[in-house]
A and B are shown apart, each in its own frame.
Chain A
Amino acid sequence: MGEALLSVRDLQIAYRVSEGEVRAVDGTSFDVPAGTITGLVGESGCGKTTVARALTRVMPGNARIAGGSARFAGRDLMALPEAEMNRLRWRDIAFIPQSAMNSLDPVYRVESQLNEVLIQRGGMTRRQARARAEELFDMVGIEARRLRDYPHQFSGGMRQRVAIALALALEPKLVIADEPVTALDVIVQRQILDQLLELQRRLGISVILVTHDISVVAYVCDRVVVMYAGQVAEAGDMRRVLTRPEHPYTMGLTNAFPDLQGAIGILTPIEGAPPNLLNPPSGCRFAPRCPFSGAMCQHRPPDVRAPEPGHAVSCHRAGEAPALRAAAARIETWAAMA
């Protein structure tokens, strides 16, 4: 594994709500090695989007960084003054949102939005910007004449391609994509993932891909970070984590997913719902839904273990993973939690 481009350590993000303060991200740590695609997965409310937003430092008004660090190329993104952070955006760190309509301004032609990035941020001349814009559109498979169009003239899939072109405009080192294909039809979804994969390999950039879809992770990611209730349950090499998960939550997630190419079998739900983070469980946060939880799990938060370098598991019973995996494959194991 190469040098980490980004090192997130003990990150804490809090939202102010009427009932108090919610730690949506509560002690999250992971690394993004240079030149890789890292998937950030988990159920809604697990904190994956909050982490992605925090890394760009574009957060809702009621959110604050409550602790921890995110070292990117030697600097802590969480401690940078806004002016410096702003210099990094687009040039070094770019963002692809779930719905590109939210990042494209409906009243400007797509070309002027690309120009804004290329000229204002990239210091290009108008002529250079024009050439680069055409090159970018070609790269994402859209005809150059469509640069003159407004965002509403594009289909959802095309807009997502425009958002990718925008994100890659200045060849940033890190692209953060929040559910970039979730809203799209399956064929377009696949075409966009193929494109992202191809560009990432060609340009050697790093990508953080936020998704709820294990199949998308299996299709494009090198590494995966599984989040639960604001914390990392398990993180490591994608292949290793998906084929030999060590955390019961990861086991549950992989069992709950339909597999078009496999036997139909039976899908196993994870009973219950994630905890309310206003008042999280005092022990392991997954314990109330975990079929393997014991007395220790109810009372003490688990330490992070590393079964091998680059793999992190936060589970009291991580040492028994092979036996737990066998039990987790049986639906009765999980049904007992209903």
Chain B
Amino acid sequence: MSLDGAPPETRTLVRVEDVRMHFRVGSPLSAALSGQNTVVKAVDGVDFMLSRGESVGILGESGCGKTTMGRLLLKLLAPSHGRVSFEETDLQALNGPALRRFRARAQLIFQNPFEALNPRFTIRRSMAEPLENARIPRAAREARIARAMELVRLPEPQQFLDRYPHQLSGGQLQRVVMARALVLEPDFVVADEPVSMLDVSVRAGVLNVFREVRAQLGLTAIYISHDLALVRYVCERTIVMYLGRIVEDGPTEAIVNNPLHPYTRALVAAVPTPHPDQPHDPLPVGRGAPDARNPPSGCRFRDRCPKAHERCALEDPAPKQIDGRRVFCHLFA
């Protein structure tokens, strides 16, 4: 059922149009004294659409705006400009029962399983909370909880439900966090670095569960990460962000095997592999780190880009369609 009660018509579930999120940081006085810009443009003009059932990675370094983007998609933040729509309804226009329906259908999977659950609540109470908030009758709750625990492969839920978070391992906790996000049977989930706090040995298990659940429930999923190898494992499409903007957007395999944007090229080349005989070529990127407070004019990547030319400083690159991808770079003009 859609937010206004009518059956869903379109293939597009989420539409992001020229979204900007500008944060004011520091005090006006310190800004005046230092002469520094006090506005951080965490997201600065982003457009994309998500089709039903798609799994899309948002990839980028710290400060690229990926986490802010995830929060905008869930209406945990209101954009400074532009709009995010869910089934063609502007999220900003939602309130009352429609907002409650959206909150049930769109869920966040937290990054840190050790902090996502109240340490004083049993797992059962943490799992029941979203059901209470969504006004699911008490009688139906236990079955919903059991089904969610099964989905994330936590069998014998009774074994876990009466325990407290500190009695579970990191891998088990992250599965509980995932189950909690699934207990309302959402059709859209945003996972923000869901395995970054876990050991590699248990990551694989959580990622496998994520893949299975997504396929089984036909979820539309956003997977936010700085790790291209993980994004590749769970997402068929990847959106690469740099300093608040999209630089490349397309099928993950194409991006991994033939990155087009100079930033994506550097990113792909930078990832070490578990093979002893891997290339050690110098990275095609300048030193330095992106500064979200003072981004360069024109293309945001130009000050680190080995291929930057005059035009890159003058004009924002418009998207170019190249074999199923959008690339935001003047090289492809």
Report which A residues bind B (CB closer than 8 A): 43-44, 141, 155-158, 185-191, 193-194, 197, 212-216, 218-219, 238-239, 242-243, 252-262, 264, 266-273, 338
Residue of B nearest to A261 (CB): B273
B61 located at the interface, meaning its Cβ lies under 8 Å from any Cβ of chain A in the complex: yes
User: B63-86: contact bitstring with A at CB < 8 Å (1 yes, 0 no)?
Assistant: 000000000000000000000000
State the Cβ distance, B135 to closest chain A Cβ, in Å: 36
What 8 pairs across the A-B complex have the smallest Cβ distances?
Answer: A269-B205, A267-B204, A258-B229, A269-B204, A215-B272, A270-B201, A185-B61, A219-B272
What mask results when residues 157 to 172 of chain B are scored 1 for a CB within 8 Å of chain A, else 0? 0000000000001110
Shortest Cβ distance from residue A228 to the other chain B in the assembled complex, whole angstroms = 10
Asked if B226 is at the interface of the complex by the 8 Å CB criterion, the answer is yes
Q: Name the residue of chain B whose CB is nearest to the CB of A331.
A: B208
A223–chain B nearest beta-carbon distance, Å: 12
Tell me, rounded to whole Å, the shortest Cβ–Cβ distance linking B237 to chain A.
Answer: 14
Tell me the smallest distance from the CB of A36 to a CB of chain B, in Å.
14
Q: Does the CB pair B229–A212 fall under 8 Å?
A: no
B267 partner residues in chain A, CB cutoff 8 A: 186-187
Quick one: which of A218, A268, A338 contacts B274, CB cutoff 8 A? A218
Stretch touching chain A among B14-22, B104-112, B279-287: B279-287
A212, B200: Cβ atoms closer than 8 Å = yes
Q: Which residues of B contact A (CB under 8 A)?
A: 61-62, 153, 169-171, 199-208, 226-230, 232-233, 256, 266-276, 278, 280, 282-283, 285, 287, 289
Residues of B within 8 A of A197 (CB): 280
In contact, A256 and B203 (Cβ under 8 angstroms): yes
Complex: A68 Cα to B248 Cα, angstroms: 54
Q: A267 contacts which of B153, B171, B233, B280 (Cβ < 8 Å)?
A: B233
- The answer to whether A190 and B276 touch across the interface, beta carbons within 8 angstroms, is no
B287-A191 in contact (CB<8A):
yes
Which residues of the other chain, A, contact B202 by a CB distance below 8 angstroms? 269-270, 273
Q: Which B residues touch A257, using CB under 8 A?
A: 200, 274
A253 to B61, Cβ gap below 8 A?
no
Q: Which one of B153, B204, B287 has the greatest number of beta carbons of chain A within 10 Å?
A: B204
Complex Cα distance, B283 from A188, in Å, reads: 10
Given contacts A243-B276, A259-B229, 14 further A-B contacts (CB under 8 A): A43-B200, A186-B270, A190-B272, A194-B280, A197-B280, A213-B200, A219-B273, A253-B200, A260-B256, A261-B278, A264-B232, A266-B208, A267-B203, A273-B171
- CB <8 Å contact, B273 and A259: yes
Which B residue's beta carbon lies closest to that of A265?
B233
Contacts A260-B268, A269-B201 given; does A186 touch B61 at CB 8 Å: yes
Nearest residue, chain B, Cβ from A142: B287
Given the complex, which residues of B lie within 8 Å of A242, measured CB to CB?
A: 274-276
Residues on A with beta carbons closer than 8 Å to the beta carbon of B275: 218, 242, 259, 261
Q: Which residues of A contact B206 (CB under 8 A)?
A: 269
Q: Are B204 and A218 in contact (CB under 8 A)?
A: no
Q: Which residues of B contact A155 (CB under 8 A)?
A: 289
Q: In the assembled complex, which residues on chain B have CB atoms less than 8 Å from the CB atom of A253?
A: 200-201
Across the interface, which residues of A come within 8 angstroms of B229, CB to CB? 258-260
Asked whether, in the complex, the Cβ of B207 is within 8 Å of the Cβ of A187, the reply is no
* Inter-chain contact B232/A258, CB cutoff 8 Å: yes
Taking the closest CB of chain A, its distance from the CB of B241, in whole angstroms, is: 13
Provided the pairs A212-B200, A257-B200, A267-B207 are in contact, do residues A187 and B272 lie with their beta carbons within 8 angstroms?
no
Complex contact A273–B271 (CB within 8 A):
no
- Name the contact of A260 in the complex, choosing from B201, B266, B273, B280 (C-beta under 8 A): B273
- In whole angstroms, what is the CA distance A158 to B291 when docked? 13
CA distance A271 to B276 in the complex (A): 26
B150 CB, nearest partner CB in chain A, Å: 14
Mind listing 30 A-B residue pairs with CB under 8 Å? A43-B199, A155-B289, A157-B289, A185-B226, A186-B226, A186-B227, A187-B283, A188-B289, A197-B280, A212-B199, A214-B274, A215-B272, A219-B273, A239-B276, A242-B274, A242-B275, A242-B276, A252-B201, A256-B200, A258-B230, A259-B274, A260-B232, A260-B273, A264-B233, A267-B203, A269-B171, A269-B204, A269-B208, A270-B201, A273-B170
